[in-house]
């Protein structure tokens, strides 16, 4: 997991089970993430369910389910490393890294120096999720860790769902509006192509520092997605983007799922061809 995602805290207890809490990395709506060490002084990242959610069985069930999905992805090169989990914690490999959103915000040179490999590795990570039989459903820059040498790890599988053969509707609408596909925002059935759309939004943002469909609310974002003109072509905002890469990313952002890449494996192959990797 990543260092520097939020301010340190000295208010938390010094121990959690057999682990010593060393530094608070991030505090989200469901869990806090700490750098911890065990009795052998080995360092890990520990994601701990928030205390106020201990008796929220819906939140606990989602938390545990996400941990179990990560366990199934253990060993995937572009997924954060799984160690173990319990009913209220997840232990992961500690990676000296930051999330893509923070790196965007400060125009970190690690992005420009490694942009092609980052894009390919994001797609490889997403493909690993799909090959394991799941949709991520919250693919966005905050859930992509990048190390100082440009290595990518995907995180946070709390919203993941089994990958269906045909689009399915969910009673709740998982995800983050700015990265949701039009069919998600319209509460229609979704499948793995919703993740491909979210990948396209993230890649577009990485290459241009702009969102393809700006808006402050889900309604505004959907209206931007449904405009006939579509998003501004990548190369109008960044002429350094190779035409073949522009074509692949813009295909991810097609309004109709049928016009996107059918599978993440196809997307990954097209990216590798476009970037001569």
Residue that is written with structure tokens 């057999």 in the block? 18
Catalogue the active-site residues.
138
**DSSP-assigned letters across all residues of 30-93:** SEEEEEEE-TT--EEEEEEE-GGGTT-HHHHHHHHHHHHHHHHTTT-TTBPPEEEE-SSEEEEE
Token pair recorded at residue 240 = 């350094």
Whether 4 shows a pLDDT value over 80: the answer reads: no
Q: Give 48-97 pLDDT, tens digit per residue.
A: 999 899 889 889 999 999 999 999 998 899 999 999 999 999 999 998 99
Q: Give 6-40 pLDDT, tens digit per residue.
A: 444 445 447 899 999 999 988 888 899 999 999 89
Q: Are 15-93 and 98-274 equal in CATH topology?
A: no
Q: How much is the pLDDT for 67?
A: 96
β partners of residue 79: 154
Q: Where are the domains of the chain?
A: 15-93, 98-274
Superfamily of domain 15-93: Phosphorylase Kinase; domain 1 (3.30.200.20)
CB 176 within 8 A of CB 184: no
Q: How much is the pLDDT for 7?
A: 43
β-pairing, 82-85 with 89-93? antiparallel
CB 129 within 8 A of CB 162: no
* 98-274 has CATH 3.40.50.150 classification: no
Counting Cα atoms < 13 Å in the Cβ hemisphere of 148 gives 4
Rg (CA), the chain: 19
CB 53 within 8 A of CB 42: no
């Amino acid at each position: 997991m990543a260092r520097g995602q939020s301010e340190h805290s000295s208010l938390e207890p010094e121990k959690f089970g057999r682990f010593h809490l060393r530094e608070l990395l991030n505090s989200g709506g469901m869990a806090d993430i700490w750098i911890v060490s065990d009795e052998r002084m080995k360092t890990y990242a520990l994601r701990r369910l928030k205390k106020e959610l201990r008796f929220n069985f819906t939140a606990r069930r989602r938390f545990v389910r996400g941990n179990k999905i990560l366990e199934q992805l253990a060993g995937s090169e572009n997924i954060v490393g799984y160690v173990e989990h319990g009913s209220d914690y997840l232990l992961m490999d500690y990676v000296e890294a930051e999330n893509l959103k923070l790196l965007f915000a400060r125009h970190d040179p690690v992005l420009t120096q490694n942009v092609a490999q980052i894009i390919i590795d994001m797609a490889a990570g997403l493909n690993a999720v799909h090959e394991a039989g799941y949709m991520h459903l919250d693919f966005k820059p905050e859930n992509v860790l990048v190390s100082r040498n440009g290595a990518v790890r995907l995180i946070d599988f709390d919203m993941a769902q089994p990958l269906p053969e045909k689009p399915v509707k969910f009673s709740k609408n998982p995800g983050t509006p700015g990265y949701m596909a039009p069919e998600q925002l319209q509460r229609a059935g979704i499948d793995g192509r919703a993740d491909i759309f979210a990948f396209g939004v993230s890649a577009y943002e990485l290459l241009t520092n702009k969102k393809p469909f700006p808006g402050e609310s889900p309604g505004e974002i959907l209206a931007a997605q449904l405009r006939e003109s579509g998003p501004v072509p990548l190369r109008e905002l960044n002429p350094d983007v190779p035409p073949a890469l522009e074509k692949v990313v813009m295909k991810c952002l097609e309004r109709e799922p049928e016009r996107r890449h059918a599978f993440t494996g196809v997307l990954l192959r097209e990216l590798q061809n476009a970037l001569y990797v």
